[in-house]
C-alpha cells in the first residue's frame, strides 16, 4: 500500500470536496480518502496492484479539476 497526496486546483466550493471524495472512493484499491478543501489536497491510501496514481488523477481531471502534483510514499508495515 502507498500513501498518496495530490495537490488540486479548481476547488471553488465545499461541494467539490464531496464530489471528489466520492469519486476517488469508487476506484478499486483506494482507501481512507480525505479531501482538504482549504489546502486544495486529496490524501488516500492506494493498492498499486489494483490502481495507479495516474488512474486516480485521470478520474479527478475527468471531473474538471487539475492535479498540480502527486506525492507517493510507501506505507511501512510497522
Contacts of 49 (CB under 8 A, 6+ apart): 29
Terminal Cα distance for the chain, rounded: 13
Tens digit of pLDDT at every position of the chain (78 positions): 999 999 999 888 888 899 999 999 999 999 999 999 889 999 999 999 999 999 999 999 999 999 999 999 998 765
* DSSP bridge partners of 66: 9
The distance of Cα 29 from the centroid of its chain, to the nearest Å, equals 12
pTM of the model: 0.90
The distance of Cα 16 from the centroid of its chain, to the nearest Å, equals 13
Amino acid at each position: 500500500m502507498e500513501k498518496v497526496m495530490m495537490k488540486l486546483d479548481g476547488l471553488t466550493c465545499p461541494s467539490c470536496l464531496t464530489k471528489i471524495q466520492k469519486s476517488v472512493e469508487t476506484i478499486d484499491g483506494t482507501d481512507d480518502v480525505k479531501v482538504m478543501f482549504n489546502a486544495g489536497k486529496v490524501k488516500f491510501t492506494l493498492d498499486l496492484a489494483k490502481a495507479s496514481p495516474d488512474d486516480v488523477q485521470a478520474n479527478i481531471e475527468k471531473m474538471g479539476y487539475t492535479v498540480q502534483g502527486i506525492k507517493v510514499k510507501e506505507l511501512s508495515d510497522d
